[in-house]
Structure 1
Amino acid sequence: MSSKSYSTGLKAKDQQSPVRELQPLPKANAEAIDFLNSLTEEELQMLFFSETLAIVSDSGEPQGELTIEVQTGKYKDELGIMSHCLIVHAFSRGFLDKTLSGNSLLGYVSRKLELMEQHSQEFIKFFVLPMERKTSLLKKDEQLVVTRSVREGEEMKTSTSVFSWHSTAGFLSEAANLVLLRVMAWRRTVPSDARFLAFDIEGKLGYCTYQALGFQTIQVGHQEAEVFIVEQAVQSDEGIPSSWQFYLLSDGHLAKRIQVGSSGCCIITKMPVLREKDETEPPPTFEKKPLLWEEDMELYSRFLERKEEYRLSHTRYLRQHPEAQALVSDFLLFLLLRQPQDVVTFAAEYFGSFAAHRSPSPALRSSHRPSPFRSLDPEENGGDDDDDDDDDDYTYDYEFGAD
């Protein structure tokens, strides 16, 4: 997806104009820029499809075919960085006043329809002086580089224009225009008073505007369909103004295209299957119900199995460590004999004596020695600071001699 260079094959008679320096651009207005920034990912996902229209003369005779396709893809820029993009491909081939003609378009645009790269080619096989025109648009080094070559017979003229990229806000390439028309069809509206930037048919930079012409019912085969009519106008200070009318179905399919002042038009011959927006349903809500696992046979069975596993594990551990059972039994016996008011503190003092990091103390010591597990404030110990506490401490120290 890197940029493609076209070989000009210049001959002696070919002419090549010098590269034009950075030029000031007309300014797109805020309404146009805001409309481009309003595009959403959800909208773009509905625009990826291909469509084919027949080119017919004023009398209704078939003259050719037009195909337009928009798809998602990836684009590699000049630095080799990959990014997501929209790929637009359009191709037509037919007869213009019995003369073979055609054009092709391949463009890469961002999710906000900013130009990445675009190549277009147009030809008319005149018998005496065949004409071919090629245009290349490329974003390069924060610049918009436009290369345009026109061949008439054996003579070719090539010109290159360079514009600063920061001044191209609101610029619409041909590829971006095809995507934007589908967005307008979905929204059933055009950007009010918006003025975009665009090149006219002569390659001059000017303004592009859109106008809604209302709704109309047309016949497509044996079916009737309502279309939204949008008129696009492109004009510049130097070039020739031009305008087109697009008849758009509700999902963005193009039902008819007319270039004002030109003979013939493009028209759909078969009604497509119209796409509709997916309606997002709210997530289902489930009421919270109590888990009655005792009534569930599977859960209750797993509970019994797990309970038996724990029982066997605990029994095996106590069998391997009989000192644990002796220690707990001794503590319970001492607890029942003393029956203290503060069981937690009593247990801390009892089991604290087995701490390995505490230094040993004499077997007989003062019953008034403060305990590290008790507060010095009698009020914090329930206001009980009588002789019973001293007796309890003495008995504990005497009988166990523990630190």
Structure 2
Amino acid sequence: MSSQVQSSDPRAKDQHASAAERSPLEASAEAIHFLNSLGKEELQMLFFSETLAMVSNTGEPQGELTIEVQSGKLKDKFDVVSHYPFVHASCRGFMDKTICGNSVRGYLSWNLRTIEQHSQEFIKFHILPMERKMSLLKEEDQLVMNRSIKEGEEVKTEVTFIPWDSTVGFISEAANLLLLRVMAWRQMVPNNARFLALDTEGKLCYSTYQALGSQTIQVDRQQAEVFIVEQTVHSDQGIPTSCQFYLLSDGHLAKRIQVGSPSYCLITKMPSLREEDEMEPHPVFKKKPLMWEEDMELYSKFLDRKEQLRLSHTRYLQQHPDAQALISDFLLFLLLRQPADVVTFAAEYFGPFAMHRPPSPALRSSDPRSPFRTLHTESS
């Protein structure tokens, strides 16, 4: 037997979108400001995996919880690959000798907006097994939510469209795990911050966080100080649900207690705490005046180079007697003319001998312009 509640046709889509737009639920300004303050470098410091043991209140092992945050690749509709934070958490164990578990996989933006998330929860009862699946996917200007509930042979499905603008301040399950690490890293919870979340029925509701202070607990025969944060999801259709998170200074989860649950999660091995790298200031070297004449080594190199150039020039003149004759003619011509500008006179004299000189026009002026003279625009 199967029943479905579909909203795939345009009219149903508009109805869901209109209902979401009429919703008065909005995240507080403090919550939005906190999310906008997140940075890529800060979140990358919180990329690591961790494993906690699930135990009952009497100390009996019941399962295992694994949380992993890393950099993930995601393609858009144009096949452009982008890097986003990827969160994968899974939990599997026993509850009253019944196998149960849940998992969540999600891609987030760098300010923790949900781009894509898939979650699953199951309880394998002997008579009526139960399984819940939910997916969130950003499409254009909306967030599409698909939910399915399977109890025995009966399956119920539902599709909801939420305008993207209405999801500002929304914290999904995947985003919540990374948000808690940020709070532990900063050792603070934003005051009066009211976020948005989904309750167990897939309805938007408020979610708040409260700092319960610090406490010292024993982890793997070591004393560790933890920062305690309590999250409360305020469902409109039921009683609020609260969960307490005991977090180490670098974001590792040391303990998780769901209020009213007969079990909790506990870390069994003390991890190596991550610390922010302290960037040492670059050394500043003051520029000192170079007194090379007083430096014996530099002055010796100067004399050697000077003598080397003198010998090179002398050798060139010996191997090219025409150059010697050219220089003699120039000196004689210089003494006869005695120009006021010797540099320009030399440029005009040696110009025709240049190897890369452009070809001269057929009819040359009796007063050719020098390349060293300033060109003035002749008045008409």
Tell me the TM-score normalised to structure 2 length.
Answer: 0.82
TM-aligned CA deviation for residue 300 of structure 1: 3.8
Q: SS at the partner of 1:95? A: strand
TM-aligned CA deviation for residue 87 of structure 1: 0.9
CA contact (8 A) 2:128 2:151 kept: yes
CA contact (8 A) 1:195 1:208 kept: yes
What is the count of residue pairs matched by the alignment? Answer: 351
Q: SS at the partner of 1:170? A: coil
* Counterpart residue number, 1:109: 108
CA contact (8 A) 2:6 2:159 kept: yes
CA separation of 1:349 and 1:95: change in aligned 2, threshold 3 A = closer
- In 2: Cα distance, 1:346 partner to 1:175 partner: 78
Q: SS at the partner of 1:281? A: coil
TM-aligned CA deviation for residue 117 of structure 1: 0.7
CA contact (8 A) 2:92 2:102 kept: yes
* Counterpart residue number, 2:257: 258
The equivalences for 1:151-230 within 5 A come to 151-230=150-229
Amino acid at match of 2:111: K
Q: SS at the partner of 1:18? A: coil
* Counterpart residue number, 1:330: 329
- In 2: Cα distance, 1:311 partner to 1:206 partner: 91
- In 2: Cα distance, 1:155 partner to 1:307 partner: 101
TM-aligned CA deviation for residue 142 of structure 1: 2.0
* Counterpart residue number, 1:120: 119
TM-aligned CA deviation for residue 67 of structure 1: 0.5
CA separation of 1:335 and 1:253: change in aligned 2, threshold 3 A = same
- In 2: Cα distance, 1:160 partner to 1:314 partner: 94
TM-aligned CA deviation for residue 79 of structure 1: 3.0
- In 2: Cα distance, 1:124 partner to 1:248 partner: 28
Amino acid at match of 1:75: L
* Counterpart residue number, 1:30: 29
- In 2: Cα distance, 1:115 partner to 1:34 partner: 17
Gaps of at least 5 residues in structure 1 are 1-12, 362-368, 375-403
Amino acid at match of 1:247: Y
CA separation of 1:331 and 1:32: change in aligned 2, threshold 3 A = same
* Counterpart residue number, 1:272: 271
CA contact (8 A) 1:200 1:242 kept: no
- In 1: Cα distance, 2:157 partner to 2:127 partner: 22
CA contact (8 A) 1:318 1:324 kept: no
CA contact (8 A) 2:47 2:70 kept: yes
- In 1: Cα distance, 2:5 partner to 2:351 partner: 101
* Counterpart residue number, 1:399: none
Amino acid at match of 1:114: R
CA contact (8 A) 2:317 2:323 kept: no
CA separation of 1:145 and 1:317: change in aligned 2, threshold 3 A = farther
* Counterpart residue number, 2:73: 74
* Counterpart residue number, 1:15: 3
- In 1: Cα distance, 2:314 partner to 2:132 partner: 90
Amino acid at match of 2:132: R
* Counterpart residue number, 1:141: 140
CA contact (8 A) 1:218 1:227 kept: yes
Identity of aligned residues (%): 59
Q: SS at the partner of 2:174? A: helix
- In 2: Cα distance, 1:59 partner to 1:188 partner: 31
TM-aligned CA deviation for residue 74 of structure 1: 1.2
CA separation of 1:282 and 1:349: change in aligned 2, threshold 3 A = closer
Gaps of at least 5 residues in structure 2 are 354-359, 374-380
- In 2: Cα distance, 1:353 partner to 1:134 partner: 87
* Counterpart residue number, 1:378: none
- In 2: Cα distance, 1:268 partner to 1:353 partner: 86
- In 2: Cα distance, 1:222 partner to 1:327 partner: 95
TM-aligned CA deviation for residue 144 of structure 1: 0.4
TM-aligned CA deviation for residue 296 of structure 1: 5.1
- In 1: Cα distance, 2:332 partner to 2:179 partner: 88
CA contact (8 A) 1:91 1:104 kept: yes
Of 75-84 and 151-160, the range deviating more from structure 2: 75-84
Q: SS at the partner of 2:136? A: strand
Q: CA RMSD in A?
A: 3.3
TM-aligned CA deviation for residue 326 of structure 1: 3.0
Tell me the TM-score normalised to structure 1 length.
Answer: 0.78
- In 2: Cα distance, 1:349 partner to 1:225 partner: 83
CA contact (8 A) 1:200 1:239 kept: no
- In 2: Cα distance, 1:239 partner to 1:310 partner: 99
